[in-house]
Amino acid sequence: MTPILTAFKHSPDRGQGLARDMRVRWALEELGVAYDVHLLSFEEMKQPAHLARHPFGQIPTYEDGEIVLFESGAIVLHLAEQHLGLLPDDASARMRAITWMFAALNTVEPPIVERSMAWVLEREQPWYAQRLVMLDERVRRLLGELSARLGDAPWLDGDFSAGDLLMVSVLLRLQSSGIVDEYPVLAAYIARATERPAYQRAFAAQLAVFQNQ
Rounded to whole angstroms, the Cα distance separating 86 from 109 reads 20
- Give whichever of 10 and 149 is closer to its own copies, judged by the CB atom: 149
- Sole binder of its own copies in the list 105, 193, 205, 209 (CB under 8 A): 105
Number of residues that bind its own copies (CB under 8 A): 43
| 113 binds its own copies per the rule CB under 8 A | yes
Of 35-43, 61-69, 174-182, 186-194, the window that binds its own copies (rule: CB under 8 A) is 61-69
Of 35-43, 70-78, 185-193, 200-208, the window that binds its own copies (rule: CB under 8 A) is 70-78
Interactions with its own copies, residue window 18-47 (CB under 8 A): none
| 78 binds its own copies per the rule CB under 8 A | yes
Listed in sequence order, the residues at least 6 apart from 210 whose beta carbon sits closer than 8 Å to its beta carbon are 11, 14, 15
Nearest to 115, CA basis, from 177, 169, 58 = 177
Single-letter amino acid, residue 1:
M
First-last CA distance in the chain: 27
Beta bridge partners of residue 36, listed in sequence order: 4
- The phi and psi torsions of 135 (rounded to 5 degrees) equal -65, -40
Instruction: Classify residue 5 by its DSSP letter.
Output: E
The residues binding its own copies (CB under 8 A) are: 51, 55-58, 66-67, 69-74, 77-78, 92, 95-96, 98-99, 101-103, 105-107, 109-110, 113-114, 121-122, 125-127, 130-131, 134, 142, 145-146, 148-149
